[in-house]
Amino acid sequence: MSLLGTYEDDDYRVEFGALVVRGFWPSGVGGTGELRHLNLPLLAEDAFAGGTRSDVARAGAGWVLGTAAAHAHVVLEAHDAPPGMDIGGWSDVLETPFLTARGEIKLAHGRGDDSPWHLKLARPGLHRVRVLRRRTSDGHRWLLRFWPVNGSPEAPRFLARSRPAVSTDGAGHGDKRYGPLAMDVLSAALWSPGRCTRAALAERLLATPEQIREALRYLTRRGLLRVGGTDEGPASTIALVPERPRPLNGGGPSAARAWPTAG
Protein backbone atom coordinates (compact mmCIF):
# COMPACT_ATOMS: atom_id res chain seq x y z
CA MET A 1 0.00 0.00 0.00
CA SER A 2 1.29 3.47 -0.88
CA LEU A 3 0.11 7.02 -0.53
CA LEU A 4 -0.27 8.48 -4.03
CA GLY A 5 -0.93 12.11 -3.19
CA THR A 6 -2.46 14.58 -0.74
CA TYR A 7 -4.24 17.91 -0.74
CA GLU A 8 -4.60 20.10 2.36
CA ASP A 9 -6.60 23.22 3.13
CA ASP A 10 -6.13 24.51 6.67
CA ASP A 11 -8.60 27.37 6.21
CA TYR A 12 -11.62 25.82 4.50
CA ARG A 13 -14.65 28.07 4.94
CA VAL A 14 -17.82 26.01 5.06
CA GLU A 15 -20.90 27.18 3.19
CA PHE A 16 -24.42 26.00 4.06
CA GLY A 17 -22.97 23.75 6.78
CA ALA A 18 -21.47 21.33 4.24
CA LEU A 19 -17.96 20.21 3.41
CA VAL A 20 -18.02 19.39 -0.32
CA VAL A 21 -15.70 17.10 -2.29
CA ARG A 22 -16.50 16.50 -5.95
CA GLY A 23 -15.32 13.93 -8.47
CA PHE A 24 -16.95 14.07 -11.88
CA TRP A 25 -19.71 11.60 -12.81
CA PRO A 26 -21.73 12.37 -15.97
CA SER A 27 -25.45 12.91 -15.51
CA GLY A 28 -27.67 10.10 -16.72
CA VAL A 29 -24.88 7.54 -17.12
CA GLY A 30 -25.83 4.14 -15.74
CA GLY A 31 -23.66 1.46 -14.26
CA THR A 32 -22.25 -1.61 -15.96
CA GLY A 33 -20.67 -4.79 -14.66
CA GLU A 34 -20.60 -4.81 -10.87
CA LEU A 35 -22.46 -1.47 -10.83
CA ARG A 36 -25.35 -2.46 -13.07
CA HIS A 37 -27.68 -3.09 -10.11
CA LEU A 38 -27.30 0.48 -8.78
CA ASN A 39 -29.88 3.16 -9.48
CA LEU A 40 -27.27 5.83 -10.24
CA PRO A 41 -29.73 8.73 -10.77
CA LEU A 42 -30.62 8.35 -7.08
CA LEU A 43 -26.91 8.56 -6.22
CA ALA A 44 -26.60 11.96 -7.92
CA GLU A 45 -25.65 14.90 -5.71
CA ASP A 46 -29.03 16.62 -6.09
CA ALA A 47 -31.26 13.53 -5.82
CA PHE A 48 -32.05 14.12 -2.14
CA ALA A 49 -30.82 17.70 -1.86
CA GLY A 50 -33.86 18.75 0.15
CA GLY A 51 -33.46 16.02 2.75
CA THR A 52 -31.91 16.04 6.18
CA ARG A 53 -28.14 15.55 6.33
CA SER A 54 -26.26 12.72 7.91
CA ASP A 55 -24.60 13.60 11.19
CA VAL A 56 -21.21 12.96 9.54
CA ALA A 57 -21.21 12.43 5.75
CA ARG A 58 -22.79 10.78 2.71
CA ALA A 59 -21.33 10.04 -0.73
CA GLY A 60 -22.54 9.09 -4.18
CA ALA A 61 -21.77 9.33 -7.88
CA GLY A 62 -19.22 12.15 -8.00
CA TRP A 63 -19.67 13.75 -4.57
CA VAL A 64 -19.04 13.62 -0.83
CA LEU A 65 -20.98 15.92 1.52
CA GLY A 66 -19.89 16.24 5.13
CA THR A 67 -21.74 18.03 7.91
CA ALA A 68 -19.22 20.60 9.09
CA ALA A 69 -18.63 23.51 11.42
CA ALA A 70 -18.10 26.95 9.87
CA HIS A 71 -14.31 26.55 9.77
CA ALA A 72 -12.45 23.37 8.92
CA HIS A 73 -8.97 21.97 8.37
CA VAL A 74 -9.30 19.42 5.55
CA VAL A 75 -6.85 16.82 4.26
CA LEU A 76 -7.60 14.62 1.23
CA GLU A 77 -5.48 11.53 0.56
CA ALA A 78 -5.31 9.21 -2.45
CA HIS A 79 -4.19 5.63 -1.78
CA ASP A 80 -3.77 2.64 -4.07
CA ALA A 81 -5.05 0.16 -1.44
CA PRO A 82 -6.87 0.33 1.91
CA PRO A 83 -4.85 2.45 4.35
CA GLY A 84 -4.07 1.26 7.85
CA MET A 85 -6.86 1.41 10.40
CA ASP A 86 -5.26 4.18 12.45
CA ILE A 87 -8.42 5.90 13.68
CA GLY A 88 -7.33 6.75 17.22
CA GLY A 89 -8.00 10.36 18.15
CA TRP A 90 -10.88 10.72 15.68
CA SER A 91 -14.37 11.16 17.10
CA ASP A 92 -16.40 10.23 14.01
CA VAL A 93 -15.31 7.63 11.45
CA LEU A 94 -17.35 6.51 8.46
CA GLU A 95 -16.52 4.43 5.38
CA THR A 96 -18.64 4.72 2.24
CA PRO A 97 -18.47 3.94 -1.48
CA PHE A 98 -17.77 6.77 -3.94
CA LEU A 99 -17.77 6.94 -7.75
CA THR A 100 -15.65 9.09 -10.05
CA ALA A 101 -15.52 8.89 -13.85
CA ARG A 102 -12.22 10.78 -14.23
CA GLY A 103 -10.27 9.40 -11.30
CA GLU A 104 -9.76 12.76 -9.62
CA ILE A 105 -11.37 14.82 -6.85
CA LYS A 106 -11.38 18.42 -5.69
CA LEU A 107 -12.41 20.31 -2.58
CA ALA A 108 -15.37 22.52 -3.43
CA HIS A 109 -17.97 24.84 -1.90
CA GLY A 110 -21.74 24.80 -1.79
CA ARG A 111 -21.98 27.84 -4.08
CA GLY A 112 -20.04 26.04 -6.80
CA ASP A 113 -16.72 27.95 -6.66
CA ASP A 114 -14.64 24.79 -6.85
CA SER A 115 -10.94 24.73 -6.20
CA PRO A 116 -8.87 24.63 -9.43
CA TRP A 117 -6.56 22.12 -7.75
CA HIS A 118 -7.33 18.42 -8.39
CA LEU A 119 -6.11 15.37 -6.51
CA LYS A 120 -5.53 12.41 -8.81
CA LEU A 121 -6.84 9.09 -7.48
CA ALA A 122 -5.52 5.62 -8.29
CA ARG A 123 -7.97 5.22 -11.21
CA PRO A 124 -11.48 6.11 -12.35
CA GLY A 125 -14.43 4.12 -11.07
CA LEU A 126 -15.47 2.74 -7.72
CA HIS A 127 -13.61 3.84 -4.60
CA ARG A 128 -14.12 3.63 -0.89
CA VAL A 129 -13.53 6.67 1.26
CA ARG A 130 -12.85 6.70 4.97
CA VAL A 131 -14.12 9.95 6.45
CA LEU A 132 -12.56 10.95 9.78
CA ARG A 133 -13.70 14.00 11.74
CA ARG A 134 -13.01 15.56 15.12
CA ARG A 135 -13.95 18.79 16.83
CA THR A 136 -11.25 21.47 17.28
CA SER A 137 -11.22 24.75 19.19
CA ASP A 138 -12.34 26.67 16.10
CA GLY A 139 -14.31 24.13 14.07
CA HIS A 140 -13.57 20.67 12.66
CA ARG A 141 -10.56 18.76 11.41
CA TRP A 142 -11.25 16.33 8.56
CA LEU A 143 -9.24 13.55 6.91
CA LEU A 144 -10.70 11.82 3.84
CA ARG A 145 -8.82 8.79 2.52
CA PHE A 146 -9.76 7.37 -0.90
CA TRP A 147 -8.73 4.01 -2.36
CA PRO A 148 -9.98 1.92 -5.33
CA VAL A 149 -12.08 -1.19 -4.81
CA ASN A 150 -13.21 -4.06 -7.05
CA GLY A 151 -16.52 -5.87 -7.16
CA SER A 152 -19.87 -4.68 -5.86
CA PRO A 153 -19.80 -1.74 -3.47
CA GLU A 154 -20.02 -2.46 0.24
CA ALA A 155 -22.67 -0.37 2.01
CA PRO A 156 -21.56 2.55 4.21
CA ARG A 157 -20.35 1.64 7.69
CA PHE A 158 -19.73 3.71 10.81
CA LEU A 159 -16.63 2.81 12.79
CA ALA A 160 -17.07 5.52 15.44
CA ARG A 161 -19.68 8.08 16.44
CA SER A 162 -19.05 11.01 18.77
CA ARG A 163 -22.70 11.07 19.85
CA PRO A 164 -25.69 8.70 19.68
CA ALA A 165 -27.16 7.93 16.26
CA VAL A 166 -30.39 9.61 17.40
CA SER A 167 -30.44 12.75 19.50
CA THR A 168 -31.70 12.20 23.03
CA ASP A 169 -32.51 15.88 23.61
CA GLY A 170 -35.12 16.23 20.86
CA ALA A 171 -38.19 16.59 23.04
CA GLY A 172 -40.97 18.21 21.06
CA HIS A 173 -39.32 17.57 17.70
CA GLY A 174 -41.35 14.48 16.82
CA ASP A 175 -39.72 12.15 14.34
CA LYS A 176 -37.38 14.84 12.99
CA ARG A 177 -34.67 13.71 15.37
CA TYR A 178 -34.49 10.48 13.33
CA GLY A 179 -33.70 12.41 10.14
CA PRO A 180 -29.87 12.15 10.18
CA LEU A 181 -29.94 8.41 10.90
CA ALA A 182 -32.65 7.99 8.25
CA MET A 183 -30.32 9.46 5.63
CA ASP A 184 -27.63 6.97 6.69
CA VAL A 185 -30.17 4.16 6.26
CA LEU A 186 -31.08 5.55 2.85
CA SER A 187 -27.40 5.60 1.84
CA ALA A 188 -27.06 1.96 2.87
CA ALA A 189 -30.11 1.07 0.78
CA LEU A 190 -28.84 2.98 -2.25
CA TRP A 191 -25.40 1.36 -2.22
CA SER A 192 -26.37 -2.18 -1.23
CA PRO A 193 -29.39 -3.52 -3.12
CA GLY A 194 -31.06 -6.61 -1.74
CA ARG A 195 -32.49 -7.80 1.50
CA CYS A 196 -31.30 -7.01 4.99
CA THR A 197 -32.36 -7.05 8.63
CA ARG A 198 -32.78 -4.20 11.07
CA ALA A 199 -30.20 -5.86 13.29
CA ALA A 200 -27.61 -5.85 10.50
CA LEU A 201 -28.34 -2.20 9.67
CA ALA A 202 -28.06 -1.28 13.34
CA GLU A 203 -24.65 -2.94 13.61
CA ARG A 204 -23.45 -1.23 10.43
CA LEU A 205 -24.65 2.24 11.46
CA LEU A 206 -23.85 2.01 15.20
CA ALA A 207 -27.51 2.37 16.12
CA THR A 208 -30.12 0.18 17.80
CA PRO A 209 -32.71 -1.94 15.93
CA GLU A 210 -35.43 0.22 17.47
CA GLN A 211 -33.77 3.39 16.13
CA ILE A 212 -33.51 1.76 12.70
CA ARG A 213 -37.24 0.95 12.83
CA GLU A 214 -38.10 4.59 13.50
CA ALA A 215 -35.68 5.77 10.79
CA LEU A 216 -37.45 3.45 8.31
CA ARG A 217 -40.79 4.94 9.34
CA TYR A 218 -39.34 8.42 8.81
CA LEU A 219 -38.34 7.51 5.26
CA THR A 220 -41.55 5.73 4.30
CA ARG A 221 -43.73 8.56 5.62
CA ARG A 222 -41.87 10.96 3.34
CA GLY A 223 -42.05 8.73 0.30
CA LEU A 224 -38.27 8.20 0.14
CA LEU A 225 -38.30 4.46 0.69
CA ARG A 226 -40.50 1.40 0.24
CA VAL A 227 -40.06 -1.53 2.61
CA GLY A 228 -40.85 -4.98 1.26
CA GLY A 229 -41.63 -8.01 3.38
CA THR A 230 -42.94 -8.19 6.93
CA ASP A 231 -40.89 -6.74 9.75
CA GLU A 232 -41.47 -9.26 12.53
CA GLY A 233 -38.47 -8.24 14.59
CA PRO A 234 -34.82 -7.14 14.34
CA ALA A 235 -33.74 -10.42 12.73
CA SER A 236 -36.51 -10.63 10.13
CA THR A 237 -35.53 -10.01 6.51
CA ILE A 238 -36.89 -6.96 4.69
CA ALA A 239 -36.20 -5.34 1.31
CA LEU A 240 -35.47 -1.62 1.03
CA VAL A 241 -36.30 0.18 -2.23
CA PRO A 242 -35.42 3.91 -2.41
CA GLU A 243 -37.82 6.22 -4.23
CA ARG A 244 -37.45 9.60 -5.85
CA PRO A 245 -38.37 12.48 -3.51
CA ARG A 246 -41.77 14.04 -4.07
CA PRO A 247 -41.69 17.06 -6.40
CA LEU A 248 -41.86 20.43 -4.67
CA ASN A 249 -45.16 21.17 -6.46
CA GLY A 250 -46.88 18.54 -4.38
CA GLY A 251 -47.12 15.84 -7.03
CA GLY A 252 -46.80 12.19 -6.14
CA PRO A 253 -43.44 10.42 -5.88
CA SER A 254 -41.87 8.80 -8.91
CA ALA A 255 -40.86 5.26 -8.01
CA ALA A 256 -37.26 4.16 -8.38
CA ARG A 257 -36.46 1.12 -10.47
CA ALA A 258 -37.10 -1.88 -8.24
CA TRP A 259 -34.03 -3.88 -7.26
CA PRO A 260 -33.88 -7.63 -7.74
CA THR A 261 -33.85 -9.40 -4.37
CA ALA A 262 -33.03 -12.86 -3.21
CA GLY A 263 -35.83 -15.37 -3.36
Query: What are 171-190's pLDDT values in tens digits?
Result: 546 688 999 999 999 999 99
pLDDT over threshold 60, residue 259: no
pLDDT category of residue 247 using cuts at 50, 70 and 90: low
Q: Mean pLDDT lowest for which of 56-60, 83-87, 119-123, 165-169?
A: 165-169
Euclidean distance between CA atoms 132 and 88, whole angstroms: 10
pLDDT category of residue 33 using cuts at 50, 70 and 90: confident
Contacts of residue 249, defined as CB under 8 A and 6 or more positions apart, other chains included, come to none
The pLDDT, as a whole number, for residue 42 is: 92
The pLDDT, as a whole number, for residue 12 is: 94
Dump pLDDT digits (tens) for 62-71: 999 999 999 9
pLDDT over threshold 80, residue 27: no
The pLDDT, as a whole number, for residue 34 is: 82
The pLDDT, as a whole number, for residue 257 is: 34
The pLDDT, as a whole number, for residue 24 is: 87
Q: What is the mean pLDDT of residues 7-12?
A: 94
Share of the chain above pLDDT 90, in %: 68
Q: What's the whole-model pTM score? A: 0.89
Q: Read out DSSP for the chain?
A: --EEEEEEEEEEE-BTTEEEEE----TT----GGGTTS-GGGGSTTTTTTSPPPSSEEEEBTEEEEE--SEEEEEEEEESSPPP---TT-SEEEEEEEEESSSEEEEE-TTS---S--EE-SSSEEEEEEEEEEEETTEEEEEEEEEE--SSPPPPEEEE-SS-SS-S--TT-GGGGGHHHHHHHHHHHHHS-SEEEHHHHHHHHT--HHHHHHHHHHHHHTTSEEEES---STTSEEEEEE-PPPPTTSPPPPPPPPPP---
Q: Which of 199, 196, 179, 191 lies closest to 242 in space, CA to CA? A: 191
The pLDDT, as a whole number, for residue 35 is: 86
**Whole-number mean pLDDT of the chain?**
87
